[in-house]
């Protein structure tokens, strides 16, 4: 199961499972999918990559596949995933592809697919794409041109600055420590923070170098950033994954606050900014596995939380349909519709800094004001989808007398805690996430679910 094909795109090991043939055929399938929707007219596809060594090689193959179906290709080069989304709308393209494996370490790489509204393919669209890939019934068209457009990062930054209105941030002159894991956000984030008037202390912001650590921005991978914050007496530290759609935060004390609280802090600021709106318009959209602190913050500001299945597309589609204020996921992913409908670390950084400036509080003070929950995230490897399904059925049976939410996998809701068990969309694993007021109760829930079963 080293090649993972799902609603979230395609990921695999290069070159063992994510082979040139796989990349070529998925590019052809995507070009064909766009042609089926728009008819005989040539389709324009925007393509961006993260800086993995294999990304440039894969890009050439993807271009060949898209061109063979009659697409025009706009090459954005190395840029954040949300930048691709912004450029799709600006250039009025028919879709976009991102060559990235996001938080997966080397030698993983992958492909993500966006629609004309910049939102990722939903389940029905992804199934159509996969069917085209499997049947190989690809459209053949006259190859169009490849155009290079290096303006994406600047366009993205200008959009964030216009919406966030950075005057208050500039006056504070925050000292910001930054670790972009030498990923796609390296140039963009440094530029944005400088434009915000911050004094930037950066490490791992060179796209010509390999990842210095696994690109998932979780606490165990932030040791160098923590050291930098303490050395430079920074006001805050930001860490990103390889394609800059997730943001993790470290406080001025050098304490990782947990990915869950990135969205919680952003929600607080946006609700305070829109406090004069009626409660029906204060909609927050997040997924089933995101911290309950979001609900507490929303309740305090008379807002309403809508929960979806896991996956950025589910949150984005609900945000768009319901005209929600803000949304995202508990992995550090913030979606702010005025900027775009993708998880966006650049928008998230600006929102957090604006919250600090407006509240005149330190990051630690802001975090201390958020209701305290304990969350544990575990995972168990599985060899097949049937094995994952069997495991989830066993969990359902164990908690059959409790309040169960079956929107995706199984979420067990107890009086002061919850646990969510589901198959991952991006890796051959089962994810087990539990949260509660008491750490002991959360640990016991995890043990109960992961105990050996006959």
Query: Has 17 been annotated as catalytic?
Result: no
Alpha helices in 210-292 (DSSP H): 223-232, 260-273
28-57: b or e for each residue (b if 16 or more CB lie within 10 Å)? bbbbbbbbeeeeeebbbbbbbbbbbebbeb
* Nearest C-alpha neighbor of 290 from the set 347, 328, 320: 328
Q: Phi and psi for 200 in degrees, rounded to 5?
A: -95, 125
Looking up tokens 């492909």 gives 111
Residue 91 three-state SS? coil
In a 3-state reduction of DSSP, which class is residue 105?
A: coil
Structure tokens at 126: 């992804």
Cis check: omega of the bond before 15, within 30 degrees of 0: yes
Closest of 239, 260, 235, 263 to residue 249, by C-alpha = 239
Kindly name the residue from 8, 54, 55, 102 that is annotated as catalytic: 102
Report the 10 Å Cβ neighbour count for 60.
10
How long is the chain?
A: 454
Instruction: With beta carbons less than 8 A apart as the criterion, state whether 286 and 294 touch.
Output: yes
List active site positions.
102
């Amino acid at each position: 199961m080293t090649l993972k094909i799902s609603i979230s795109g395609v990921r695999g090991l290069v070159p063992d499972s994510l082979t040139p043939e796989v990349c070529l055929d998925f590019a052809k399938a995507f070009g064909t999918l766009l042609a089926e929707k728009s008819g005989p007219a040539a389709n324009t596809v925007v393509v961006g990559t993260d800086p993995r060594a294999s990304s440039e090689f894969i890009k050439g193959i993807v271009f060949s596949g898209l061109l063979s179906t009659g697409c025009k290709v706009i090459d954005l080069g190395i840029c954040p995933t949300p930048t691709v989304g912004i450029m799709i709308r600006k250039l009025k393209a028919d879709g976009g592809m991102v060559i990235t494996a996001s938080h997966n370490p080397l030698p993983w790489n992958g492909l993500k697919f966006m629609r004309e509204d910049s939102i990722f393919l939903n389940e029905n669209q992804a199934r159509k794409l996969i069917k085209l890939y499997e049947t190989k019934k690809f459209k053949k068209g006259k190859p169009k041109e490849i155009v290079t457009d290096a303006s994406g990062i600047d366009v993205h930054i200008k959009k964030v600055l216009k919406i966030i209105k950075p005057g208050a941030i500039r006056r504070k002159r925050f000292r910001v420590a930054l670790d972009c894991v030498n990923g796609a956000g390296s140039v963009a984030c440094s530029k944005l923070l400088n434009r915000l008037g911050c004094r930037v202390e950066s490490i791992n912001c060179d796209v010509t170098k390999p990842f210095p650590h696994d690109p998932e921005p979780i606490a165990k991978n932030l040791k160098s950033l923590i050291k930098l914050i303490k050395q430079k007496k920074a006001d805050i530290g930001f860490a990103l994954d390889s394609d800059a759609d997730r943001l993790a935060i470290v406080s001025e004390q050098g304490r990782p606050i947990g990915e869950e609280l990135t969205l919680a802090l952003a929600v607080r600021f946006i609700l305070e900014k829109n406090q004069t709106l009626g409660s029906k318009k204060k909609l927050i959209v997040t997924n089933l596995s995101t911290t309950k602190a979001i609900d507490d913050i929303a309740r305090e500001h008379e807002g309403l939380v809508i929960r979806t299945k896991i996956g950025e597309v589910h949150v984005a589609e609900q945000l768009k349909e319901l005209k929600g204020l803000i949304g995202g996921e508990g992995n550090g992913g913030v979606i702010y519709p005025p900027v775009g409908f993708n998880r966006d670390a650049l928008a998230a950084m600006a929102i957090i800094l604006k919250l600090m400036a407006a509240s005149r509080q330190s990051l630690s003070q802001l975090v201390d004001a958020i209701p305290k929950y304990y969350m544990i995230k575990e995972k168990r490897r599985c060899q097949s989808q049937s094995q994952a399904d069997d495991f989830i059925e066993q969990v359902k049976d164990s908690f059959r007398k409790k309040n169960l939410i079956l929107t995706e996998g199984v979420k067990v809701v107890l009086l002061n805690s919850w646990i969510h068990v589901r198959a991952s969309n991006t890796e051959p694993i089962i994810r087990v996430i539990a949260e509660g007021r008491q750490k002991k109760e959360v640990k016991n829930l995890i043990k109960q679910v992961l105990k050996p079963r006959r």
